A and B are shown apart, each in its own frame.
Chain A
Amino acid sequence: MKCIRHLVALGLSGAMLLSLLSACGGGGTSGAQPSENSQGQEETQQGESTELLVWVPPLDDDTEASWRPMLEKFEEEHNCTVTLEIIPWTNYQEKYTMAINAGEGPDIGYMYAEMYPTFIDAKAIDDLTPYLTDEDYENYIYLEQTEMFGGTYGLPIVAGVPFVIYYNQDILDSLGEEAPETWDDFKRICAEATQDTDGDGEIDQYGFALGWNSASFGALNSNWYMWLWQAGGDIFNDDLKSVRFNDAAGLEAAEFLMELKQYMPEDALALSNDDCFDKIFGAGKAAFAVKRSSQVQGTTFAQTYPDLNWDYVTALSYKDSATFGAVDSLTLMSACENKELAVELMKYITGTEFMTEYHKTCPGAPLTWDEPYQGDEKMARIVTDDVEKLRTLTVGPKGVEIYEYLWRQLQIMFEGTQTPQEALDEAARYANQLLDEYWAAKE
């Protein structure tokens, strides 16, 4: 009996050991491995199917279902299999880092501007210039915005959805005001709108609903870039060797935000911007709020905020009129084994035929000049009259660390612990130190 117990215990122990060893072993077969051979090309030459792995974040409720019929057409025409993996937004960049490190990254990846420097530096993504034709340069609306570090690293797939200033038409009407055009207009209306409407001695209607609680520098999209650019400033100097957001223009933008603070909810630092928009502006308790636009905003707001009478201003004017409009792109990974085919797929996905079809179900701004606009009429002027106001980030080295620290310093400034000048100078000191180290290592 004891012997049997021994054997059972040993068997279980062995099973655990085996499962542990098998878990530790490699064995992923999907995805792009660093090219050890040209197996993919060989397969294509022999007429066998090639597999392309594409990573994209959720772009709509069911991106796989939206894209699949059109991808099947490409698969048939090119005798290949396209595997689409939807990567959740949470820790998006980290998933790429880990997968590429493990040799299991995709062939084509969806990337946003801040991701590029790291992957370009690591030679994990390829310059698309050799694959682009004159026709491509003419037809893609936003292609110029994916040029960085002397190359073109992406084909734009999501663009023309900038952060805009939404306003409550009823509040503005009650104040006898029109939509603001300048900083002065904006500040004046904010001051007039900040009121105690029910007479209980407490402010219950705010000029500007802008939340400042965020773990991510992504909040700079709504809380910083547009003001900085409108004041005539920018993040990096042209040579990318130092930053300039603490110059006179940057200071003016920061001071303007601090002037607006008195018209924001007192718990703005405890609320994320999305919460602020939803709970305060969406509830009709603020004159203005900033949020990323969408070509179907008319439809979605009608469902989410049925009582809200709203409109928007793409960008205010001060020394310049600009707002942040991300240009996210499809990127060719260096480890891809069949690059010609991958680029063909990238062009197909971002091309007129695919996007016209896709935007019928999920409206978005046209990416090419010959794609028709299919969104809500109300949002059309963003990509027609105001298209020149859309700006994306200058992609510079050490971007993530610089933005992260800048965001934290802006929080400190907004709280009142540091003056705008102190906060910006400290962020610039940190950024310049990082850039010095970066360029020193390059030399």
Chain B
Amino acid sequence: MNGLRNRGGRRKDAVPAPAGGAAARVGGRLRRVSPYLYIAPIALTLLVFKIVPFFLSLALSFTRYDILTPPVFNGLYNYQKLLGDVMLGDAVRNTLLYAVIVVPIQTVLALLLACCVVGKGNRLTARFAKAAFFIPYLTSASIIGIVWKTLLNSDIAAVEGFFALFGLNASTLLGSSKTALPTLAGIAIWKDLGYYMIIYVAGLMNIPQIYYEAARVDGANKWWEFFKITLPLVKPTTILVVFLGITTSFQVFDLLYNLTGGGPGTSTMTLVMYAYNLNFKSNNAGYAMAVSNVLLLIVAVLSILQRKFVRRETSEW
């Protein structure tokens, strides 16, 4: 707008230099296209890395494609095959079970930890706790995998003793199809807890202190404050944490691949790992795309649900 005013000012002064007029025209054009230029990098990134691959994956899922030779159209064959695929069934079951274990536990723990941290204000202990819980989230899944594998298979008495408290033998946890998935879920919770805690900390800090002060005046205790003020007012954050947790759980791959590779048998095989194996190990890319699209469909439905919930909660709040 400022530029327009300046241009108008020059016109009023009646000194229409031809060169200046051309510059103004160029400037005007530039101003018109500049918004598109600003968004071009991110738009192109989205187009190349998200939108085109999405349509490609959709198209390739109707083909027999081994990556090395051109795809051959085979109609709905890959989708028909999905229905009778035993390994896919295992992968879907494991993915759901993993999400069912991880999401509630990590949500509750993250909220409790965030309450403790926020309650400590900006003290050294609170700052230390935030950093300590957040570091595993920043660490690569491969390193986490190596560390936990070493810990669980080590002869360290403290580790053995800790698991013995729950009647478990640390060294056999990853080697049994009954305990492997819950163990991996536990490691994933430990890894990501800090991230969700930080989200909750932000949510908690947005709650006006006046509510707590009023409650205290009315004689409310800490539990009462938590259940009647904190919990209802962090509901939008909880919905966000739950849905982020679900979508992350559905896409889990690297930690499981590094620790068990989907075994023993298929007991820790997830949807993403199955699609990865089909695509990169078996060169069965067409079918891998069909499996990926099943995952995409599940995550898309969950995302739509999340948006609906968040919108409702926000409007209620």
What residues of chain A have their CB less than 8 Å away from a CB belonging to chain B? 2-3, 6, 9-10, 13-14, 16-17, 20-21, 24, 91, 93-94, 97-98, 100-101, 118-119, 121-124, 212-216, 266-271, 275, 279, 398, 400-401, 404-405, 408-409, 411-412, 414-415, 417, 430, 441
Residue in A215, A271, A414 whose CB lies within 8 Å of B262 = A215
Residues of the B chain whose Cβ atoms lie less than 8 Å from the Cβ of A214: 261, 263
Question: Hey, what's the 0/1 contact readout for B278-307 against A, CB within 8 Å counting as 1?
Answer: 001111100000000000000000000000
B175 at the interface (CB under 8 A from A): yes
Looking at B30, B38, B45, B153, the one whose CB has the most chain A CB atoms below 10 A away is: B153
* A21 smallest CB distance to B (angstroms): 8
* B136 smallest CB distance to A (angstroms): 22
In the complex where A14-B37, A271-B153, A415-B265 touch, is A93 in contact with B69 (Cβ < 8 A)? no
Are B34 and A119 interface neighbours, CB within 8 A?
no
Task: Report the Cα distance A163→B24, complex, angstroms.
Answer: 79
Residue in A21, A124, A216, A269 whose CB lies within 8 Å of B264 = A269
Are A13 and B40 interface neighbours, CB within 8 A?
yes
Residue in A3, A213, A398 whose CB lies within 8 Å of B263 = A213
* B contact face: mostly helix, strand, loop, or mixed: helix
Residues of the B chain whose Cβ atoms lie less than 8 Å from the Cβ of A91: 280
Residue in B38, B68, B175, B263 whose CB lies within 8 Å of A119 = B68
**CB-based nearest B residue for A412:** B265
Task: Report the Cα distance A122→B38, complex, angstroms.
Answer: 44
Are A411 and B41 interface neighbours, CB within 8 A?
no
In the complex where A97-B280, A215-B260, A267-B171 touch, is A10 in contact with B176 (Cβ < 8 A)? no
* A contact face: mostly helix, strand, loop, or mixed: helix
Are B173 and A118 interface neighbours, CB within 8 A?
no
What residues of chain B have their CB less than 8 Å away from a CB belonging to chain A? 2-3, 30, 34, 37-38, 40-41, 44-45, 48, 64, 66-69, 86-87, 152-153, 169, 171-177, 257, 260-266, 277, 280-284
8 smallest beta-carbon distances between A and B, as pairs? A215-B261, A269-B175, A270-B175, A122-B68, A412-B265, A267-B171, A16-B41, A411-B264
Are A24 and B48 interface neighbours, CB within 8 A?
yes
Are A9 and B38 interface neighbours, CB within 8 A?
yes
Other A-B contacts than A13-B40, A21-B44, A213-B175, 4 sampled, CB-CB below 8 A, are: A13-B38, A215-B263, A266-B169, A417-B177
**CB-based nearest A residue for B31:** A6
Are A269 and B68 interface neighbours, CB within 8 A?
no
* B143 smallest CB distance to A (angstroms): 15
In the complex where A2-B2, A269-B172 touch, is A215 in contact with B41 (Cβ < 8 A)? no
Are A13 and B282 interface neighbours, CB within 8 A?
no
In the complex where A118-B66, A118-B68 touch, is A404 in contact with B264 (Cβ < 8 A)? no
In the complex where A97-B280, A408-B262 touch, is A20 in contact with B45 (Cβ < 8 A)? yes
Looking at A9, A212, A269, the one whose CB has the most chain B CB atoms below 10 A away is: A269
Task: Report the Cα distance A267→B152, complex, angstroms.
Answer: 10
In the complex where A16-B41, A118-B283, A441-B64 touch, is A268 in contact with B262 (Cβ < 8 A)? no
Are A400 and B41 interface neighbours, CB within 8 A?
no
In the complex where A118-B68, A124-B68, A441-B64 touch, is A270 in contact with B172 (Cβ < 8 A)? yes
Residue in B30, B44, B175, B280 whose CB lies within 8 Å of A268 = B175
**CB-based nearest B residue for A265:** B171
Task: Report the Cα distance A93→B283, complex, angstroms.
Answer: 10
Task: Report the Cα distance A240→B282, complex, angstroms.
Answer: 18
Are B266 and A408 interface neighbours, CB within 8 A?
yes
16 A-B pairs in the complex with CB atoms less than 8 angstroms apart: A20-B48, A91-B280, A93-B281, A121-B68, A122-B68, A213-B264, A215-B260, A215-B262, A270-B172, A400-B283, A401-B284, A408-B264, A411-B264, A417-B177, A417-B265, A441-B64
Task: Report the Cα distance A9→B37, complex, angstroms.
Answer: 10
Are A270 and B173 interface neighbours, CB within 8 A?
yes
Are A400 and B282 interface neighbours, CB within 8 A?
yes
Task: Report the Cα distance A411→B264, complex, angstroms.
Answer: 5
* A215 smallest CB distance to B (angstroms): 2
* A368 smallest CB distance to B (angstroms): 32
Are B38 and A412 interface neighbours, CB within 8 A?
no
Are A13 and B68 interface neighbours, CB within 8 A?
no
Residues of the A chain whose Cβ atoms lie less than 8 Å from the Cβ of B38: 9-10, 13
Residue in B41, B257, B284 whose CB lies within 8 Å of A20 = B41
Task: Report the Cα distance A345→B44, complex, angstroms.
Answer: 45
* B51 smallest CB distance to A (angstroms): 14
Residues of the A chain whose Cβ atoms lie less than 8 Å from the Cβ of B153: 267, 270-271, 275, 279
Task: Report the Cα distance A94→B38, complex, angstroms.
Answer: 37
Task: Report the Cα distance A16→B66, complex, angstroms.
Answer: 34
Are A101 and B67 interface neighbours, CB within 8 A?
yes
* B67 smallest CB distance to A (angstroms): 5
Are A412 and B264 interface neighbours, CB within 8 A?
yes
Residues of the B chain whose Cβ atoms lie less than 8 Å from the Cβ of A405: 87
* B90 smallest CB distance to A (angstroms): 10
Task: Report the Cα distance A349→B284, complex, angstroms.
Answer: 34
* A203 smallest CB distance to B (angstroms): 13
Residues of the A chain whose Cβ atoms lie less than 8 Å from the Cβ of B66: 118, 121-122
* A418 smallest CB distance to B (angstroms): 8
Task: Report the Cα distance A17→B2, complex, angstroms.
Answer: 27
Are B175 and A400 interface neighbours, CB within 8 A?
no
* A2 smallest CB distance to B (angstroms): 6
Are B264 and A212 interface neighbours, CB within 8 A?
yes
Task: Report the Cα distance A404→B171, complex, angstroms.
Answer: 25
Are A20 and B2 interface neighbours, CB within 8 A?
no
In the complex where A408-B266, A409-B265, A441-B64 touch, is A270 in contact with B152 (Cβ < 8 A)? yes
Are B284 and A270 interface neighbours, CB within 8 A?
no
Are A404 and B41 interface neighbours, CB within 8 A?
no
Task: Report the Cα distance A24→B44, complex, angstroms.
Answer: 10
Are A266 and B265 interface neighbours, CB within 8 A?
no
In the complex where A2-B2, A411-B265 touch, is A267 in contact with B175 (Cβ < 8 A)? yes
**CB-based nearest A residue for B74:** A441
